Amino acid sequence: MKKVAIVTSGGDAPGMNAAIRALTRLAISNGLKVLGFIRGWEGIIRNNYVELDSRAVGGILHLGGTILKTTRCKEFRTEEGLRKAADNLMKDDVDGLIVIGGDGSARGARELSKYVDSKIIVLPASIDNDLYGTDESIGFDTAVNTALVEINKIRDTAISYERTFLVEVMGRRRGFLALEVGLTAGAEIILVPEVKYDRERIYEILRRNAAKGKRSSIIVVAEGVGDTWKLAEDIRKNVETEVRVSVLGYVQRGGNPTARSRLLAALFSQKAIELLLDGVGGRVVGIRGNEITSISLDEACEKVKPLNLDLLKLAERLAI
């Protein structure tokens, strides 16, 4: 192992820069050369990279986003694109490729691994936290706290005006973010894609709360649940309450990474470099309990990470 490359792929997540920094410095401390491909998979296909050293990654630990940039690359989904990427990795003498990203990035890495001899390691970094094999991804804690700060402010207005607020958070396919945000924000109702909701039950909860004197409510909605605006209109028609919708949007992806996100970036990076130095590839690094582990790339892509529905039940019990 003489040369490694880093690429950030898919949606950005707070802590990606912390991972780039840690990977670069740990690689250099072990005598490895480091390349950083620009703009995700597109950068590998175009062979667009920069050489990274300790100074190149100075001053980025606290920054959100990724200095290597990222983009969606349709060409990478084709055999021709994969072969171009593989050829460039071979031409650049890349022995190890470290992919920082989420579920989609892991799947891309798996496809690429069929065409290259380079050892590939995936570092989970995603606010969706949906990659199998790790309890938590880099950036998830930051996104939860970002959304929590905003919901705390929204609740001030909800209480003052005695309104019901539907707060839409990211999560097109999975509800990990909505669940943790909703639980920690004390939301009265949490809606996630994994659980089909009943409108009549929502009306009943809001009416029951109002009868108890609880005239303001927060409903946290994962974007993948459906049309939040239509749900708000239905609530308005069936329950005597003022209803407002607040879509948090891309604010959840940005911002300075929390200490937790930075810590995971450092620990995951250390594990990734250790695996590469041992000549091991085709792995996804993660944390289970308090242990930094890794599983096969195949397992991570083939299995579905379960949502902890016990937390949803806990949130319901706490929202009385």
pLDDT above 90 as % of the chain = 99
Q: Do 29 and 153 share a domain, yes or no?
A: no
Residue 45: closest CA among 73, 10, 15, 4 = 73
- Over range 42-60, report the average pLDDT: 97
Range(s) of the domain holding residue 37 = 3-139+257-302
Residue 187, C-beta contacts closer than 8 angstroms, at least 6 positions apart:
151, 167, 181, 218, 219, 220, 315, 319
Domain boundary among 234, 253, 272: 253
Q: Do 248 and 261 share a domain, yes or no?
A: no
Name the pLDDT band for 31 (thresholds 50, 70, 90): very high
Domain boundary among 253, 268, 285: 253
Annotation says 128 is catalytic: yes
- Over range 118-131, report the average pLDDT: 97
Is residue 310 scored above 90 in pLDDT? Answer: yes
DSSP state letter for 79: H
Q: Quick check: is 311 in a domain?
A: no
pLDDT of res. 49 = 98
Q: Quick check: is 204 in a domain?
A: yes
pLDDT of res. 320 = 86
pLDDT tens digits for 248-263?
Answer: 999 999 999 999 999 9
CATH code of the domain containing 239: 3.40.50.460
Q: Do 18 and 149 share a domain, yes or no?
A: no
Q: Do 133 and 264 share a domain, yes or no?
A: yes
Q: Do 83 and 194 share a domain, yes or no?
A: no
CA atoms of 51 and 33, how far apart (whole Å): 8
Which of 128, 135, 234, 298 is flagged as catalytic? 128
Q: Do 134 and 92 share a domain, yes or no?
A: yes
pTM of the model: 0.96
Q: Do 73 and 186 share a domain, yes or no?
A: no
Q: Do 270 and 160 share a domain, yes or no?
A: no
Domain boundary among 222, 237, 253: 253
- Over range 63-70, report the average pLDDT: 97
Amino acid of residue 88: N
Q: Quick check: is 83 in a domain?
A: yes
DSSP per residue over 1-55, as a string? --EEEEEE-SS--TTHHHHHHHHHHHHHHTT-EEEEESSHHHHHHHT-EEEE-TT
DSSP state letter for 223: G
Q: Do 159 and 220 share a domain, yes or no?
A: yes
Total tally of structural domains belonging to the chain? 2
CATH code of the domain containing 31: 3.40.50.450
Q: Do 191 and 283 share a domain, yes or no?
A: no
Q: Do 195 and 271 share a domain, yes or no?
A: no
Q: Do 225 and 263 share a domain, yes or no?
A: no
